[in-house]
Chains A and B, each alone.
Chain A
């Protein structure tokens, strides 16, 4: 470990540390524009100059380009270095438009900071300035090229780091231009990071343009709710609205970046249609009054039907506090449930949670260090966007990435795809598992596991079964293989088989890891805190039979449960009482007899467990209330004096549930952490809110994984002849519940269509662009088709758009007879 002297202080750093980073460890921030830890060094801007006074290298050097070495004596304050940096800044500023007052970057601009701290105050250059034409880059990012200092961060981020090619650097010399070939919407779903990464104001946040300077905002850390990864964000709120979000560094999860769904999914918090006042039978009452009425009516239902006549429902977007409280109240009252995950994937998530062991868990960042990755039944870019760049980094480090999934996979790097139909996924996994058994002496349980796999068909229908067998060899010979397994559309045996494969690989040698992709930000918590039965489907049947008369629904839209809408509507009409607690307007809040508005995770702290089993805390960013833009009708807010915040007469869902459970709002505060510990043993040692570590805590999951194979197999139904499987799948924008309410992302949500394999289309007599009608329980859906060769045969794939849900079959996987699919006639 080299020992060197920087500014007369000694420091020892790990081999390979750049001088710029060594200095940063000592608290010395050497100026930099082009250097970024996620992108590495290129030495493009020359502003990080230091003077090496003694040692192996001497003279003015770029501190981002040299490794710390023994005996180095570096000065950052040396007059020559300071003068050098001053001149560099002066020429980087030659053509700058000096438009800081109207630039949204002003106030948090690295160029501003370094210009001032570098001592360059007066422009000496008298010549005409070089100017550029800006481009339209879509709804998210605003372009102002004149402010560019040619640091190359944007293009290196965009092309090298995330693998998209529609933004780059053109021209030469002083004309160097960063942008697209033609103006147009950026293709990358990670484009918002350009805003964070550009050290000046070339790329700024378009939706929040001119909405405030950084110091005007309440800025707080938060955890993203728009998928299960739990990336870190920084929230900026002003005038009781969330205005902007930025990526926040996380060592274990997202690194420096986030996806655009996470960045721009927030507008649901500000929406005018968000429920803000409690309502009983359509009449506004106070929050407490509504809770009181709800309590009384629940009592009266319980008196008539017994406590079993009441059921409670939550969702995967509820924080642990709410999920835990649903369980506590249901247990105490003898109500049915809680059903904490109504997603059709809930059973798969449950399997995943039960199969994830401490020694198999890998974090998102650890995926970057894997050298052989098999993604099964998952679509990273659409289901957990930031997984895609993590896989890309692994690929850049030489990993082989393979996707086994029926959908037309697209990833921003080179990968292998086995387009296996859903019914054959188990057979494909069985090939890998059997191959492992051939090679290794297994434990008794391992043998049983493999024997039970014999029941799975022999994989005759798998395209390129030999390729799969060869893939096993790569897995076997790798150092750090990772199995990524989806839950959204996976057949029920797949999550368990993925775990079996990871375990068997462990026995075979390599340090295999397992990474599940789950639907909601707290799917994991829901699986921990609730029992397999009743499921939401069970509740609906019980309602239909008249056994359940009242439902308490917390932060959950029942119309996303995969149950046919007509059936659900009829069931809900049979209810005597529907109490809905939520912060979004949904069919379920609209159907409520009693509506209790609640606070979002921006307004009240919440704990969430991500897909990896990591508990994270998302603190409140601001206190909530009706946005001033609304109370003032676009003008100055009312001047009437009041002591409370308008539109803030509400609490967190869990406090409402506490009251519904019969606790007097005035009684002593509860110890939530202790209660969570009582709710599940894995939650016993959660840190207190005040000392929650920045990257959260990994739950202690079961160990001794070797003994935990899935030995009971699922019986495989006969494949239906002349049938097609219809998959309704997630897409990056437009599917996830909260972000699909985002006005900002509307423009990026394309109209729906059906993917079909060209050969299947030919058999059905369909051609590209044809409007095709599909008959299902939901009625007939007519959509254009898109011939897609890179997908499995025998499958139709519809990317789901939540706002058109009522037109699509609710099941994620439906088997359709071929006769249910036909060309829609002109007049249909």
Chain B
């Protein structure tokens, strides 16, 4: 269950909207921010807030890259899988990431830190090859840079996680 204040805020947003459906993605994003991912329960709660059949949100949630219907790691790495990045070495970078993290695309590291997913062009073509981690864009990438980024994030995680 969403905390009452979150729910209240979202309900207010919906009431203020001329067409509640236009807020469907925003509401799902907000609910996802709360839970970490969109579980069935979360999706159904969001549907109740928007006032539509859960199917209408499922249609969006399963289409839209940044809504996660399965649990994800603390850092979600979206590596760009579009034409400019293909030209600039996407494949070898992807393989590097997979090797480095010991997972396949679509998987999460056992420590729950990283999830690896593709994404369509993120508009970073001028700094291609590129990737997105928790909404922050990185590029142009090299294997060395990737290692560096991963190390920084690991350190950050270690710092903020109470042992």
By a beta-carbon cutoff of 8 Å, the part of chain A in contact with chain B is 165-172, 180-182
CB of B54 within 8 Å of the partner chain: yes
Closest 4 CB pairs of A and B: A181-B55, A165-B53, A170-B62, A181-B54
How distant is the Cα of A180 from the Cα of B55 in the complex, in angstroms? 6
- Give Cα distance in the complex from A182 to B56, angstroms: 12
- Closest B residue to A182 by CB, please name it: B54
Query: Chain B, 31-61, contact with A by CB distance < 8 Å: what is the 0/1 string?
Result: 0000000000000000000001111101100
In chain A, what residue has the closest Cβ to B60? A170
Contacts of A171 in B (CB 8 A): 62-63
- Contacting pair B59 A169 (CB below 8 A): yes
Q: Which residues of A contact B56 (CB under 8 A)?
A: 165, 168
- Collect the chain B residues with CB atoms within 8 Å of residue A168's CB: 55-56, 58-59
B59 CB, min distance to chain A CBs, angstroms: 5
**Interface residues contributed by chain B, number (CB under 8 Å):** 9
B62 interface neighbour in A166, A167, A172, A182, Cβ under 8 Å:
A172
A182 contacts across to B, CB distance below 8 A:
54
B53, A170: Cβ atoms under 8 Å? no
Please give 15 more A-B residue pairs, beta carbons under 8 A apart, in addition to A169-B59, A172-B62: A165-B52, A165-B53, A165-B56, A168-B55, A170-B55, A170-B58, A170-B59, A170-B63, A171-B62, A171-B63, A180-B55, A181-B53, A181-B54, A181-B55, A181-B58
Chain B interface helix/strand/loop/mixed: helix
A181 contacts across to B, CB distance below 8 A: 53-55, 58
Q: Tell me the complex Cα distance, A673–B53, Å.
A: 53
Interface pair A166/B63, CB less than 8 Å apart = no
Q: How far is A182 from B40 in the complex, measured between Cα atoms in Å?
A: 10
The answer to whether B55 and A165 touch across the interface, beta carbons within 8 angstroms, is yes
Which residues from chain B contact A170 at a C-beta distance below 8 Å? 55, 58-59, 62-63
Can you show 27 pairs from A to B with CB atoms below 8 A apart? Answer: A165-B52, A165-B53, A165-B55, A165-B56, A166-B53, A166-B55, A167-B55, A168-B55, A168-B56, A168-B58, A168-B59, A169-B59, A170-B55, A170-B58, A170-B59, A170-B62, A170-B63, A171-B62, A171-B63, A172-B62, A172-B63, A180-B55, A181-B53, A181-B54, A181-B55, A181-B58, A182-B54
Complex CA–CA separation, A180 to B53 (angstroms): 10
In the bound complex, what is the Cα–Cα distance between A635 and B1 (angstroms)? Answer: 57
The smallest beta-carbon distance between B123 and chain A, in angstroms, is 19
Shortest Cβ gap from A598 to chain B (Å): 46
Residues of A contacting B53 in the complex (Cβ-Cβ under 8 angstroms) = 165-166, 181
A374→B16 CA distance, assembly (Å):
31
A156 to chain B, nearest CB (A): 13
Q: A599 to nearest B CB, angstroms?
A: 45
Residues of A within 8 A of B62 (CB): 170-172
Q: How far is the CA of A171 from the CA of B59 in the complex (A)?
A: 7
A162 to chain B, nearest CB (A): 14
Q: Identify which of A169, A170, A182 gathers the most chain B CB atoms within 10 Å of its CB.
A: A170
A241 CA to B88 CA in the complex, in Å?
67
Contact string against A for B residues 69-94, beta-carbon threshold 8 Å, 1 for contact and 0 otherwise: 00000000000000000000000000
The CA-CA distance from A182 to B47 in the complex, in Å, is 14
Give the docked Cα–Cα distance between A181 and B47 (Å). 12
Q: How far is the CB of A709 from chain B (nearest CB, A)?
A: 44
Chain A hits for B63, CB < 8 A: 170-172
Instruction: Name the residue in A170, A171, A181, A182 with the highest tally of chain B Cβ atoms < 10 Å from its Cβ.
Output: A181
Q: Report the separation of the CA atoms of residues A802 and B59 in the bound assembly, to the nearest whole angstrom.
A: 39
Instruction: Give bound CA distance, A170 to B43, whole Å.
Output: 14
Give the distance to chain B from A790, nearest Cβ to Cβ, in Å.
Answer: 16
In angstroms, Cα B52 to Cα A166, docked, is: 10
For A169, the chain B residues whose CB sits under 8 A away are 59
Smallest CB separation, A177 vs chain B (Å): 8
Please report the C-alpha to C-alpha distance between residue A468 and residue B59 in the assembled complex, in whole angstroms: 39
**How many Å lie between the Cα of A180 and that of B54 in the bound state?**
9
Q: Which residue of B lies closest to A180 (CB)?
A: B55
Bound-state Cα–Cα, A166 to B55, Å: 6
Looking at the assembled complex, report how far the CB atom of B55 sits from the nearest CB atom of chain A, in whole angstroms: 4
A168 to B53, CA, bound (A): 10
Residues from chain A with Cβ under 8 Å of B58 in the complex:
168, 170, 181
Q: How far is the CA of A388 from the CA of B63 in the complex (A)?
A: 31
Residue of B with least CB distance to A177: B62
Which of chain A's residues has its CB closest to B64's CB? A172
A253 CA / B23 CA spacing, docked (Å): 39
A172 to B120, alpha carbons, bound, how many Å? 12
Min CB distance A80 to B, Å, is 25
Using Cβ atoms and an 8 Å threshold, which residues of chain A touch B59?
168-170
> What's the minimum C-beta distance from B17 to chain A, rounded to whole angstroms?
16
B52 partner residues in chain A, CB cutoff 8 A = 165
Q: Closest approach, in angstroms, between the C-beta of A172 and any C-beta of chain B?
A: 5
Instruction: Compute how far the CA of A61 lies from the CA of B123 in the bound complex, rounded to whole angstroms.
Output: 30
A172 — which chain B residues lie within 8 A by C-beta? Answer: 62-63
Cα distance, A58 to B56, chains bound together (Å): 39
Shortest B58–chain A CB gap in Å is 5
Q: What is the minimal beta-carbon distance from A741 to any residue of chain B, in angstroms? A: 32
B54: chain A residues within 8 A (beta carbon):
181-182
State A172–B119 Cα separation when bound (angstroms): 12
Task: Give complex CA distance A171, B52 in Å.
Answer: 18
In the complex, residue of chain B having the shortest beta-carbon distance to the beta carbon of A173: B63
A441 to chain B, nearest CB (A): 42
A171 and B69 CA atoms in complex are apart in Å by: 11
Closest to B61 in A: A170
Instruction: Give the residue name and chain of the A residue nearest to B47 (CB).
Output: A181
Assembly CA distance A182 to B55 (angstroms):
8
* From B52, B56, B59, B63, residue with most partner A Cβ within 10 Å: B59
Closest to B54 in A: A181
Output the nearest chain B residue to A171 by Cβ-Cβ distance. Answer: B62
- Bound together, the chains give a CA A213 to CA B55 distance in angstroms of 34
Q: How far is the CB of B35 from chain A (nearest CB, A)?
A: 18
Give the docked Cα–Cα distance between A171 and B56 (Å). 12
Rounded to whole Å, the gap between the CB of A472 and the closest CB of chain B is 28
* Cα distance A166–B57 in the bound complex, in angstroms: 11
CB distance from B60 to the nearest CB of A (A): 9
Minimal beta-carbon separation of B63 from chain A (angstroms) = 5
Q: How far is the CA of A433 from the CA of B56 in the complex (A)?
A: 42
State A326–B107 Cα separation when bound (angstroms). Answer: 77
Q: How far is the CA of A169 from the CA of B56 in the complex (A)?
A: 9
Give complex CA distance A166, B56 in Å. Answer: 8
**Docked complex Cα distance between A703 and B37 (Å):** 67
- Least CB separation from B65: chain A residue: A172
CA distance A171 to B55 in the complex (A): 11
In the bound assembly, the distance between CA atoms of A88 and B52 in angstroms comes to 36
Task: Kindly state the separation between the CA atoms of A171 and B64 in the bound complex, as whole angstroms.
Answer: 9
| A-facing residues in B96-120 (Cβ within 8 Å) | none
Distance between Cα atoms of A180 and B52 in the complex (Å):
13
Q: Hey, which chain B residues are within 8 Å of A165, CB to CB?
A: 52-53, 55-56
Chain B residues contacting A167 (CB-CB under 8 Å) are 55
Q: Report the minimum CB–CB distance from B52 to chain A (whole Å).
A: 7
* Minimal beta-carbon separation of A338 from chain B (angstroms): 50
B118 CB to closest chain A CB, in angstroms? 10
How far apart are B49's CB and chain A's nearest CB, in angstroms? 16
Q: How far is the CA of A168 from the CA of B55 in the complex (A)?
A: 7
Question: How many angstroms from the CA of A169 to the CA of B62 in the assembled complex?
Answer: 9
**Closest A-chain residue to B52, C-beta based?**
A165
Q: Give bound CA distance, A180 to B63, whole Å.
A: 15
CA distance A168 to B52 in the complex (A): 13
- Closest chain B residue, CB of each to CB of A165: B53
Q: Which residues of B contact A166 (CB under 8 A)?
A: 53, 55
B54 vs chain A, min Cβ distance (A): 5
Q: Looking at the assembled complex, report how far the CB atom of B129 sits from the nearest CB atom of chain A, in whole angstroms.
A: 21
Residue of B whose beta carbon sits closest to that of A167: B55
CB distance from B81 to the nearest CB of A (A): 11
Nearest Cβ distance between residue A540 and chain B, in whole angstroms?
Answer: 49
Instruction: Quote the shortest CB–CB distance from B40 to chain A (angstroms).
Output: 9
- Chain B residues near A180 (CB, 8 Å)? 55
**Cα-based distance from A266 to B53 in the complex (angstroms):** 32
